[in-house]
Amino acid sequence: MQGGKSTALLQRRHNLLSIGKNVMVMTCSFDDRYGIGKVTSRIGPQCDAALYTAETVFELNDTFAEADELFIDEAQFLSPAQVHQIHKNLSTKEGMRVSCFGLRSDFQGNSFPGAATLLTLADELHEISTLCRCGAKATMNQRIASDGAPIRNGDVIEIGGDSRYRPVCSKCFY
């Protein structure tokens, strides 16, 4: 949360497009914070993105064949099976690089299943960090009520922005 993942994705996309690379961007179909099919940074930049759903099969076909780079935003929502498909079918394609941007854990401190699989299979890991309101490194995501009080229970997936979630350190999380 608020670490700049989407900003980093958009900057890398811009750099690659400027040297003539074919970049495909995907995001989950139910993230509608800034419009469906959009990857948007809090600081303004955005781009259109293809959508993935729970039913999306990631295999080398016409959808992915021309891409030099595939960026997947909100990758924590991929299923473990989809992560395995991406790893086997796309990241091994000659000339294609796949980069996934997402959270490691949910608001209860548990791993997202897709994120755990990504962490296991990734060739490289790049942590994008941010700060807790106390100034310490934020390592957790805290769901909050309208009055700012932490919410500890509820559905794991609830799309929301800064008014619904905040990055916190472990001390402030507990």
Active-site choice (55, 59, 69, 74): 74
User: In 147-161, which positions are buried (b, 16+ CB within 10 angstroms) versus exposed (e)?
Assistant: eeeeeeeeeeeeeee
Is 74 annotated in the active site? yes
The phi-psi region of residue 25 (left if phi > 0; otherwise alpha if psi is between -120 and 50; otherwise beta) is beta
Residue 75 tokens, joined: 């990758």
Cβ contact 94:68 at 8 Å? no
Residues marked active site are found at 74
